[in-house]
Amino acid sequence: MASNYQDRELSWLDFDTRVLELSADPTIPLLERLRFLAIFSSNLDEFFMVRVASIKAKIERGSTTINSAGYAPKELLDLVLKRTQVLVNIQAERFRDEIVPELRKEGIEFLKISEVTDSEREDLKNYYNNRIFPVLTPLVVDPSHPFPYISGLSLNIGVNIESSEDHDISFARVKVPSNLPRFIRTSDANKIRFVLIDDLIAEHLPELFPGVKLKDHFFFRVTRNQDLDLDEDETEDILETMEKELTRRRFGPPVRLEVDKVIHPEVLNELMDELQIEPHDVIKYDSPLDLRSLNQIADLDLPHLKYKPFRSDTAPELRDIDPASTDSYFAALRKGEILLHHPYQSFTSSVVRLLENAAQDPHVLAIKQTLYRTSGDSPIVEALIEAAEAGKQVLAVIEIRARFDEMANVRWARKLEEVGVHVVYGLMGLKTHAKLSLVVREEGDVLRRYCHVGTGNYNPKTARFYDDLGLLSADPVLGEDLSRLFNELSGHSTKHDYSRILVAPHSLRKSLIMRIQREIKNHLDGKPSWIRLKLNSLLDEEIIANLYEAAEAGVKVEIIVRGICSIQLNNQARRENIKVRSILGRFLEHSRIYYFRNDGAEDYFIGSADVMHRNLDRRVEALVRIDSEKHKEKLKSILDDSVSDVYSTWKLSEDNKWIRSTRSPEGENLVNFQDHFIDKHNRS
């Protein structure tokens, strides 16, 4: 019997396939298409470090359990690896056969060493001698030199050496320096010409191994398991334990070996033996490996090959505040709630300004803040430090388990603790993913609370290209809710009753199910019903089962999902009543909107939670109810546009394939969804 759910990992590969499709879109500027090739590679690295590593761990434990999509771990791993090989072949061919020729037409060339001029060759040799050679470390494998440790995601040159009586050596490894540019521009000032640092090092390999006969060389790269194994029940100091775990993670077992297609089979077998990699874990490439570095080329200052410049604007409600008066900002919030839509509206002039004003305002007594991911030079963290140094009570709930940002968050935690900020790490066993700010201000004889609840991280840099929503508010009801939630995060509470927010893991799941079931009942009673969800991921089987039930009862369900989507449109009722779209583009669609028709008394929520097991059961998440009719109309407009056939999006077809719509029935190009919002905000 066919499963009711699409597999999580295969659905993720569907998502990265959509990213790869953008690199072939002729309506996208050429350097931006190149960047999508780099994003595809970066996504795939993370997928292997975490998701494929998880599948392999199940296999190593001997698990044969069938998942909800109908796959045993080994069967799923085989499918993932075969599909990955197909995708990287497409990526390599697209770069070589489409992107490189188009770049050449624009005067940007990628050269082999044999193709450079004599003058360029001489300059490249000088560059190699002065900048590259001093940092290279050739490592041979012989009876006195064991096989070297290969760090995760490093690019390496494997060298096959002709053994002799004097040299019992057959293999050597040279690590390509990651702190030097991957693409080296030649000295021809009239042209934009690059050679790969890998090729330049390979050209000079005889100088690294003087007196030794080299047979050939190849490039390879190892991906290691980067999933953390943190047992909070066995630790007394989670910060110290995290630091130790991060050190251990550097030595995680290999989960993928990427190699040149030209590698000799015997050499590949030896490499697999040393790394303890199975044949199916090997992905073969046409050079170059690791196309993440194409970001270097995409960053070239060539505006005609990039998206038109876009600058976010200050939210209208905040445009007239007096920058010299902190009270002016808070007065704007007292006039009414402000719904923010980033990156079209500035994060810096709204959310960052809230915290900077709070740090400087003499009437502010306390600031409470969650931090999941932030920038390396975070003005938000600096504001918290300034506030603490000014004697204000400051609480920072830092999620040091935020994947791939653990070390940065550990450093921020140490820095904040040093200046007297109360730093906590949330609740045992639960990641704190909610996006919350709370400012307590003394105004006359009353204390007033100012809040921000958002869908995105407190990171001013990513806020420039992440589509997110946020609510600034002076509503006392919401302020009371956030006070209770922060007290739970820093202390202890057995009460989880809130007025305007839905909180995981205590109430969010049952609240969503209750609202879905209410739509079913309303529809069966002849009342208006409708469910619309805009998410990053939709995976949770229980919620999906309820959505299926709604569709089979006749409720219209519209879903906009950027990444994973486990829905299967495998019966007529679902095909008729469930519409699934995906939007990818210049900005990363990161906002979450939950809408329920509710017999005309419409429920709108925004917040941090996706519909996944981890969000509903293993994280602290918060959704805030939107009460303003004006703000509801704004969210309705976003949802309307997201499912409109006027704009270019991907649709989940009746046979559960993602099909991109780029042209109207009349053959004209559909409007780019995000360009529409840029134009809309420019006009306003």
Assign residue 264 the CATH number of its domain: 3.30.1840.10
Tokens 């969000």 — which residue? 615
- Please provide the distance, in angstroms rounded to a whole number, between the alpha carbons at the two ends of the chain: 53
208 — phi, psi (to 5°)?
-80, -25
Let me know whether 143 and 101 are in one domain: no
Task: Evaluate whether residue 154 is within a structural domain.
Answer: yes
Let me know whether 168 and 245 are in one domain: yes
Q: What is the pLDDT of residues 489-537, one digit of tens each?
A: 988 766 778 999 999 999 999 999 999 999 999 999 999 999 999 999 9
Task: Tell me how many domains the chain contains.
Answer: 4
Q: Which residues contact 114 (CB under 8 A, 6 or more apart)?
A: none
Beta pairing class for 603-607 and 619-625: antiparallel
- Is residue 288 reached through a cis peptide bond, with omega within 30 degrees of 0 on the bond before it? yes
Let me know whether 579 and 642 are in one domain: yes
Q: Give DSSP secondary structure letters for 325-340.
A: -HHHHHHHHHT--EEE
**pLDDT of 433:** 93
**pLDDT of 1:** 44
**pLDDT of 214:** 87
**pLDDT of 166:** 56
Are the C-beta atoms of 181 and 132 separated by less than 8 Å? no
Last residue of a domain, one of 81, 106, 131: 106
Task: Evaluate whether residue 167 is within a structural domain.
Answer: yes
**pLDDT of 368:** 97
Let me know whether 327 and 250 are in one domain: no
Task: Evaluate whether residue 149 is within a structural domain.
Answer: yes
Two tokens at 508?
A: 């969010």
Q: Mark the ranges of the chain whose per-residue pLDDT is less than 50.
A: 1, 231-235
Beta pairing class for 214-224 and 593-596: unpaired
Q: What is the pLDDT of residues 652-681, one digit of tens each?
A: 999 999 999 888 888 888 989 999 999 888
Task: Evaluate whether residue 334 is within a structural domain.
Answer: yes
**pLDDT of 238:** 57
- Rounded Cα distance, 219 and 209, in Å: 17
The alpha helices in 335-405, defined as continuous H runs, are 353-360, 379-389
Last residue of a domain, one of 258, 291, 324: 291
Let me know whether 395 and 461 are in one domain: yes
Let me know whether 592 and 509 are in one domain: yes
Are the C-beta atoms of 170 and 145 separated by less than 8 Å? no
Angle of helix 673-683 relative to helix 629-643, nearest 10 degrees, comes to 140
**pLDDT of 668:** 85
Let me know whether 425 and 567 are in one domain: no
Task: Evaluate whether residue 29 is within a structural domain.
Answer: yes
Let me know whether 133 and 102 are in one domain: no
Let me know whether 509 and 617 are in one domain: yes
**pLDDT of 156:** 96
**pLDDT of 425:** 82
Active-site positions read 433
Domain that holds residue 521: 503-683
Last residue of a domain, one of 495, 512, 539: 495
**pLDDT of 664:** 84
